[in-house]
Amino acid sequence: MNEITLRLNDEPARLPAGTPLADALQQWDYAECRIAVAINGEFVPRSAYAERILHDDDRIDIVAPVGGG
Amino acid sequence: MDALHDDTLTLYDETFASRFLLGTALYSSPTVMQQAIRAAGCEMVTLGMRRQNPAGGDGDAFWQILRDSGCRLLPNTAGCRSAREAITLAQMSRELFDTPWIKLEVIGDDYNLQPDPFGLLEAARELIDQGFKVLPYCTDDLVLCQRLRDAGCQALMPWGSPIGTGLGLMNRYALQTLRQRLDVPLIIDAGLGAPSQAAEAMEMGFDGVLLNTAVARAHRPALMAEAFAEAIRAGRSGYLAGLMQQRQTASPSTPPLGQPFWHRDGG
């Protein structure tokens, strides 16, 4: 099976080609987390997780709430 | 106290009884943060977003504590270095926290964390177009603040001094000018280290104060939060009451007429 290499929070990650974002989040144990996602610097709304297919070299940022001033 | 009781802060058509906004970073524990929020009596708290690794972090627990506080949430775009980054993070925050409120930060310099006025204005325009309630963290530059207001920002948050310094109101002339020239709510954000500095900002006519480090890093954060809350109320009362004009020459308070032991011949 073809694999793609991408960056998850600036760390290398590998996935089968054609994986949708929703499946990747499940695989990475984010399913129960309160998070928001951007790919290549663009916000990806939750409603698009299922249809957004990940590609080679995608840069995925996943953020969660923290204390802030 | 009656005048103060009816004196509310309005931001984007929402009313707040408290003029104290508190940050949620740097506390020694979540319990200490909760105690400080309660002591501050604030109704809006700031918070941030950071990368979370798989199955790690306690973002959900932290968020739940803030939800339980009953405060409105003001997510920030701290650390963003371009309009594009700030816009993306604001969009993420709107979904994450289910709120259109955003404390917009676009940082232009690493040394003093000074806002980038150009990126800030660009991001503010775009986010207001997208329906956000933008509270921009800005410098005390009058023209920048006018441009932000013209872009649709219904409140502005000029710095007192750089973030985390505790230096207080560094440029009183610029801040006074902002107060005189702008009729939108102005909240002093960043740089306040002592309750007296917050009182001074309020006496100058600023509408509120946002701070974090001075409370979170105090030996007793809840007590410091209470001190700031009292100073903000005192300063606001002083402003509403009307401060006397300063002058160079002395003027006796007790009437000179009828002064005993005084003789016309000076004897």
What ranges do the domains of chain A cover? 3-63
| B85: contact with A, CB 8 A cutoff | yes
For helices B30-40 and B221-241, the axis angle rounded to 10 degrees is 20
Which residue of B lies nearest to A68 if distances are taken between CA atoms? B47
Overall average pLDDT of the B105-121 stretch: 97
Is the Cα dihedral B229, B234, B240, B242 positive or negative? Answer: negative
Confidence check: pLDDT of A32 > 90 = no
**What's the pLDDT band for B89 if we cut at 50, 70, 90?**
very high
Of the candidates A41, A43, A67, which has its C-beta nearest B48's C-beta? A67
Listed in order, strand segments (DSSP E) in B37-192 are 44-51, 72-75, 101-104, 133-138, 157-158, 187-189
**B253-to-A28, B105, B200, B212, B239 alpha-carbon distances in Å:** 74, 49, 24, 41, 22
CATH superfamily of the B15-241 domain = Aldolase class I (3.20.20.70)
**pLDDT given at position B230:** 98
**pLDDT given at position A1:** 65
**pLDDT given at position B206:** 98
Planar angle of CA A41, A15, B60, nearest 5 degrees = 60
Q: Do A33 and B85 touch (CB under 8 A)?
A: no
Residues of A in contact with B62 (CB under 8 A): 65-67
Predicted TM-score (pTM) of the model is 0.94
- Reported as type and span, the H/E element at residue B87 is helix B83-97
Q: What percent of chain B lies above the pLDDT cut of 70? A: 96
pLDDT tens-digit series, residues B116-161: 999 999 999 999 999 999 999 999 999 999 999 999 999 999 999 9
Q: Tell the CATH topology of A3-63.
A: Ubiquitin-like (UB roll) (3.10.20)
**What's the pLDDT band for B265 if we cut at 50, 70, 90?**
confident
**pLDDT given at position B64:** 85
For residue B195, give both structure tokens.
């309750």
User: Known catalytic residues of B?
Assistant: 103
CB B120 within 8 A of CB B138: yes
For residue B258, give both structure tokens.
């009828």
Confidence check: pLDDT of B53 > 90 = no
B254: annotated binding-site residue? no
pLDDT tens-digit series, residues B207-258: 999 999 999 999 999 999 999 999 999 999 999 999 999 999 999 999 999 9
Of the candidates A33, A64, A67, which has its C-beta nearest B24's C-beta? A67
Size of interface A-B (CB pairs under 8 A): 113
| A12: contact with B, CB 8 A cutoff | no
